[in-house]
Amino acid sequence: METLFQHEYVYTAGLYSIVVMAIITAAAVFEWITSYKTWDEFKKGNVAVALATSGKVFGTANIFRYSIEANDSVLAMLGWGAYGFLLLLFVYFIFEFLTPSFKVDRELGADNRAVGILSFVLSVSLSYIIGASI
């Protein structure tokens, strides 16, 4: 089995599969903590939620990209990727805390695209900082 994982194509497919599952898990966590239902908002054409969700997906993938580059083992890659995701999750709570005059979730649910763009940019930009520190 170890010989199989030494093959570059199999290793790449394995990492790809792991990261796809991590992104699905991350999306489920964000779905759990937000007050809106992401897929229902997508069906309504809510661009703000689409932007915020896209930023989180991109941010998670970007963190795992850095984690793959920085680590030699799959287990280390998963550990650092998960830690990076927790930091990205923390960004969500900081954004909510730094905007006391309105609720981010409520604004996203109301399709406030300005909030959606800011949420996207925060997730993406801070994923680079998180990734660079891995």
Q: Round to whole Å and give the CA distance between 130 and 87.
A: 7
Residue 7: the pLDDT is: 78
> Domain limits at 116?
2-133
pLDDT tens for residues 49-108? Answer: 999 999 999 999 999 999 999 987 888 999 999 999 999 999 888 888 888 888 999 999
Phi then psi dihedrals of residue 111, to 5 deg: 65, 40
Distances 10 to 56, 62, 92 between C-alpha atoms, Å: 27, 21, 35
Residue 117 half-sphere exposure toward CB, CA atoms < 13 A: 3
Q: What tokens appear for 108 in the block?
A: 């996203």
Mean pLDDT computed over every residue of the chain? 90
Domain count, the chain: 1
